[in-house]
Amino acid sequence: MLYLWLKVAHVFFVISWFAGLFYLPRIFVNLAMVPAQSEVERERLLGMAKRLKRFMIVLMVGSWATGLAITLTLGGPGTWWVQGWLHAKLLLVLFLTAYDGYCSVLLRGFRNGTNTRSHVWYRVFNELPTLLLLGVVILVIIKPF
């Protein structure tokens, strides 16, 4: 029964974290397009991004904590840890965590006024979590190895 509740919490945290991973770079697209004279719009978008990023940290930690708890609940290193698909999934989750961290760096650049990237770059950057999510879903459901 504990396993099922952990799984519910994990799915909730992962879905919520991904909502942020999809939306924050979209805010970056809008920030990159704000004309220099539109200080009010820039500050509004920066405020949205800052609040979302702060919340995303909680969601990311919840995703990691519940995922690790599920793994330990199901027998720990003797069962799940020897399965290749889990190693691959953890690698993708590490990439997602790095992506999340890089979003913090990018947000700091917008706050400091040092962003040099175009809205087109952010549109492409916005697609990376989609590809990583597809990989994670394939690994978790199909377990190819």
Residue 44 has pLDDT above 60, yes or no: yes
Give the model confidence (pLDDT) of 82-135 as tens digits: 889 999 999 999 999 999 999 999 999 999 999 999 999 999 999 999 999 999
Residue 62 has pLDDT above 80, yes or no: yes
**Is 10 labeled as ligand-binding?**
yes
Compute the distance between CA of residue 1 and CA of residue 7 in angstroms, rounded to an integer: 10
What's residue 74's pLDDT? 76
DSSP per-residue string spanning the chain: -HHHHHHHHHHHHHHHHHHHHHHHHHHHHHHHHS-TT-HHHHHHHHHHHHHHHHHHHHHHHHHHHHHHHHHHHTTGGGTGGG-HHHHHHHHHHHHHHHHHHHHHHHHHHHHHT-----HHHHHHHTTHHHHHHHHHHHHHHH---
C-alpha R_g of the chain: 18
What's residue 123's pLDDT? 98
What's the whole-model pTM score? 0.93
Q: Would you tell me how many other CB atoms lie within 10 Å of the CB of residue 106?
A: 21
Q: What is the mean pLDDT of residues 18-37?
A: 97
Between 80 and 57, whose confidence is greater?
Answer: 57
What's residue 83's pLDDT? 86
Q: Which residue has the tokens 């919490």?
A: 9
What's residue 77's pLDDT? 57
pLDDT band at 36 (very low <50, low <70, confident <90, very high): confident
Q: What is the mean pLDDT of residues 51-69?
A: 97
Identify the weakest region by mean pLDDT among 3-7, 20-24, 106-110.
3-7
Query: If you average pLDDT over every residue of the chain, what do you get?
Result: 95
